[in-house]
């Protein structure tokens, strides 16, 4: 077996994991499965692409950084687009989810998120067509890493970025007052209000974090694979599988779940063929639900 | 009687509009008093103090805390206004450590003050200090009740409101909790509590109200109420109530 699947798996896993953080946070704090989360990824990626084009139009062609395929415009663009995606998620909550949530039936909110997902996706196809596009068409030479593994400079940078983001979110949730408020709200919403937590504020922060990370995950796919309006929707099943595998509400769990699914997918491509790739996350999801429904890091509800 | 901390006038409240559980209850709590609200099952005691704490929608009436009208204040503003509530059950965050439970409640204090207040709480409740890194869900019932009270006190409330602090505790812990409440009152905090355990509550309370079918029907000094024939009648002589949402915790 070629060990290259480890690098491929870690990269796919990073994309899934970053997306799954948003899924797991919305699920534990807002108590619904947001099926539009994948489309936040796609919107974030197209927003990044739009900002990169705008910077290109103003500053002309910018040389990439060292051996990477992208230059500073992409970095600036991602940061702007993260804010944009966070605000998009907030706006969607304001016009749609929050109104339905107040009626108290989460299944209605879930269905609404399906509708929002379709609308967001179609809007992207309308604006940018469904033709795949790329941040860069330059070809990167993969460096040999030993043991038959090759890795490109882009891939190394993106793995490091993922690790830093995950660490950042984990520290935010465990060490800051905002993060403790998020934990409190997910564990006991009524008591959270009693201790003085402004629920609306925590909900806003949750959307901003989820949207921002979805954007980064989308841009990673954009850099390593390609940009399509369906790119996020296609990640939905693996993301949910990762969030459930890791245990709903757990940030490290979501990331670990993502990595496990990424590695399993990459391994399956080698062992049983690429056409079975999509089945892997489904099988893992079913297995978790049967064997340990609370996931790896999940804790039993009282 | 000194300055009233809490004045509740003709409170009508319930979860669903038009279906009041509290039907025109009035009470007054003076500074540094322990006031007990008693009543048979399903009398709406729990809904009554939850409405005061902003957790049950109020239809009419008025709630005043130290002269401020807090009738329509949202629940999350109550601690800022000086009212700290301790729910009957699920009154800690089970997956967070004892430390983090206190820290998250200290969120409305100045950041510098939080560690100081936490240490003060540990000095008052040494048993909690020994378990500071333990998830609150793993504490015993008595310790959990202690944490819930410490969590409420950390913000220096003017009024501490407790919903059946003795519920589900063994007799040993019941007396411990009531001793703790006496000490808290001595430190200058006014206390309002709802209790099923009338004897224990009256032994520490200054005054008490008897709530029946959502209305305050009787009032008196705690020391006298235990032998008051009216109380016995209100408890026993009432027609059997259908315990709907009124008895809900």
Q: What is the pLDDT of residues A68-123, one digit of tens each?
A: 888 888 899 999 999 999 999 999 999 998 888 888 788 898 899 999 999 999 99
Note the pLDDT tens digit of each residue in A39-67: 999 999 999 999 999 988 888 788 888 78
Interface test with A, best of B104, B109, B115 (most A CBs within 10 A): B104
* Residue A280 forms part of a structural domain: no
- Measured between alpha carbons, how far is B230 from B140 in angstroms, rounded to an integer? 38
Q: What is the mean pLDDT of residues A213-239?
A: 91
Task: Using DSSP, state whether B33 is helix, strand or coil.
Answer: coil
CATH architecture of B4-247: 3-Layer(aba) Sandwich (3.40)
- Residue B247, pLDDT score: 39
Lookup result for tokens 């409101």? B161
| pLDDT cut 70: percent of chain A above it | 98
pLDDT above 90 covers what percent of chain A?
Answer: 49
Q: What is the DSSP letter of B11?
A: E
pLDDT of the residue at B103: 94
pLDDT at A105: 80
A103 touches chain B (CB under 8 A): no
Residue A275: the pLDDT is: 83
Give the CA distances from residue A215 to residues A107, A212, B117, in Å, rounded to whole numbers and listed in that order.
Answer: 26, 5, 40
A173 found inside a domain: yes
Question: What whole-number distance in Å separates Cα of residue A139 and Cα of residue B95?
Answer: 48
Return the biggest CA–CA distance within chain B: 55
Residue ranges making up the domain that contains A143 = 29-231
Q: What is the pLDDT of residue B249?
A: 37
Mean model confidence pLDDT for chain A? 88
| In a domain? residue A209 | yes
Mean predicted confidence (pLDDT) in B43-52: 91
pLDDT value of residue A302? 41
* Residues from chain A contacting residue B94 (CB–CB below 8 Å): 187-188, 302
Mean pLDDT in residue range B144-157:
93
**pLDDT exceeds 80 at position B2:** no
Residue A51 belongs to a domain: yes
Residues of chain B above pLDDT 90, percent: 53
A180, A190, A197 member nearest B55 (Cβ): A190
Shortest Cα distance from B46 to chain A (angstroms)? 15
Beta strands in A76-174 (DSSP E): 143-146, 149-151
Please check whether residue A37 lies inside any domain of the structure. yes
pLDDT at residue A63 in the model: 80
Residue B46: list chain A partners with CB under 8 A.
none
What is the predicted pLDDT for the residue at B218?
Answer: 82
**A191/B91 CB distance under 8 A:** yes
Q: Domain for residue A247, yes or no? A: no
Q: How far is B75 from chain A (nearest CA, A)?
A: 6
Do the Cβ atoms of A191 and B77 come within 8 Å? no
**Band of residue B240 on the pLDDT scale cut at 50, 70, 90:** very low
- Total residue length of chain B: 249
Q: Does B94 touch chain A (CB under 8 A)?
A: yes
Domain count, chain A: 1
How do residues A262-288 score in pLDDT, each as one tens digit?
Answer: 999 988 888 888 888 878 888 888 888
B245 band by pLDDT with thresholds 50, 70 and 90: very low
* Ranges of each domain in chain B: 4-247
A177 CB within 8 Å of a chain B CB: yes
How many beta-carbon pairs below 8 A join chains A and B?
71
Mean pLDDT of chain B, nearest integer: 87
Tens-digit pLDDT profile for residues B105-127: 998 899 899 999 999 999 989 99
Q: Residue A239: inside a domain, yes or no?
A: no
Residue B215 in this model has a pLDDT that exceeds 90: no
Contacts of A197 in chain B (CB under 8 A): 76, 104, 107
Q: Exposed, middle or buried by CB within 10 Å (0-12, 13-18, 19+), for A209?
A: buried
pLDDT band at residue A129 under the 50/70/90 scheme? confident
- Residue B17, SS3? coil
Residue A302 lies in a domain: no
Q: Which of A184, A188, A194 sits opposite B75 (nearest CB)?
A: A194
Chain B residues with CB under 8 Å of A188 CB are 90, 93-94
CA distance A300 to chain B (A): 10
Cα–Cα distance, B84 to B149 (Å, whole number): 9
Q: What is the pLDDT of residue B236?
A: 59
Selection from A268, A250, A282 nearest residue A182 by Cα: A250
ipTM value, please give it: 0.85
């Amino acid at each position: 077996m070629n060990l290259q699947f480890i690098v491929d798996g870690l990269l796919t896993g990073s994309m899934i994991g970053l997306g799954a953080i948003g899924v797991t946070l919305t699920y534990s704090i807002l108590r619904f499965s947001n099926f539009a989360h994948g489309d936040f990824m796609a919107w974030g990626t197209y927003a990044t692409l739009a900002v990169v084009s705008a910077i290109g139009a103003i500053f002309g062609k910018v040389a990439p950084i060292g051996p990477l395929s992208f230059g500073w415009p992409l970095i600036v663009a991602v940061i702007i687009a993260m804010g944009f995606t966070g605000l998009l998620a907030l706006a969607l909550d304001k016009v749609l989810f929050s109104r339905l949530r107040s009626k108290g039936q989460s299944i209605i909110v879930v269905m609404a998120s399906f509708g929002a997902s379709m609308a967001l996706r179609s809007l992207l196809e309308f604006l940018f067509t469904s033709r795949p596009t790329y941040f860069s068409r330059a070809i990167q030479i993969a460096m040999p890493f030993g043991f038959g593994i090759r890795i490109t400079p882009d891939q190394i940078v993106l793995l490091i970025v993922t690790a830093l983001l995950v660490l950042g979110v984990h520290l935010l949730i465990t060490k800051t007052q905002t993060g403790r408020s998020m934990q409190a709200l997910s564990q006991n919403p009524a008591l959270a209000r009693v201790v003085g937590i402004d629920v609306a504020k925590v909900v806003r922060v949750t959307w901003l974090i989820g949207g921002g990370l979805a954007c980064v995950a989308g841009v990673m796919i954009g850099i390593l694979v390609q940009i399509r309006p369906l790119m996020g929707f296609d990640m939905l099943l693996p993301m949910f599988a990762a969030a459930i595998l890791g245990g709903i509400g757990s940030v490290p769990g979501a990331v670990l779940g993502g990595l496990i699914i990424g590695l399993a997918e990459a391994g399956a491509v080698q062992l049983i063929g690429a056409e079975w790739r999509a089945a892997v996350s489904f099988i893992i999801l079913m297995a978790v639900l049967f064997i340990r429904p609370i996931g790896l890091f999940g804790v039993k509800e009282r | 009687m000194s300055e009233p901390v809490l004045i509740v006038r003709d409170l009508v409240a319930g979860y669903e509009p038009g279906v009041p559980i509290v039907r025109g209850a009035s009470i007054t709590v003076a500074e540094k008093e322990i006031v007990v609200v008693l009543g048979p099952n399903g009398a709406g005691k729990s809904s009554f103090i939850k409405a005061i704490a902003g957790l049950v929608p109020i239809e009419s009436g008025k709630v005043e805390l130290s002269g401020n009208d807090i009738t329509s204040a949202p629940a999350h503003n109550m601690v800022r206004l000086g009212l700290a509530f301790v729910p009957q059950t699920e009154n800690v965050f089970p997956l967070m450590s004892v430390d983090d439970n206190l820290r998250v409640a200290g969120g409305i204090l100045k950041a510098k003050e939080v560690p100081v207040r936490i240490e003060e709480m540990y000095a008052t409740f040494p048993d909690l200090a020994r378990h500071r890194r333990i998830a609150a869900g793993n504490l015993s019932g008595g310790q959990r009740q202690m944490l819930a009270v410490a969590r409420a006190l950390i913000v220096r409330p003017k009024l501490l409101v407790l919903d059946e602090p003795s519920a589900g505790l063994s007799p040993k812990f019941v007396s411990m909790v009531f001793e703790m409440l006496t000490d808290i009152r001595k430190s200058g905090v006014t206390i309002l509590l709802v209790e099923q355990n009338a004897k224990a509550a009256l032994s520490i309370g200054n005054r008490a109200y008897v709530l029946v079918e959502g209305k305050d029907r009787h009032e008196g000094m705690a020391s006298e109420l235990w032998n008051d024939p009216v109380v016995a009648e209100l408890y026993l002589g009432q027609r059997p109530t259908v315990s709907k949402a009124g008895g809900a915790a």
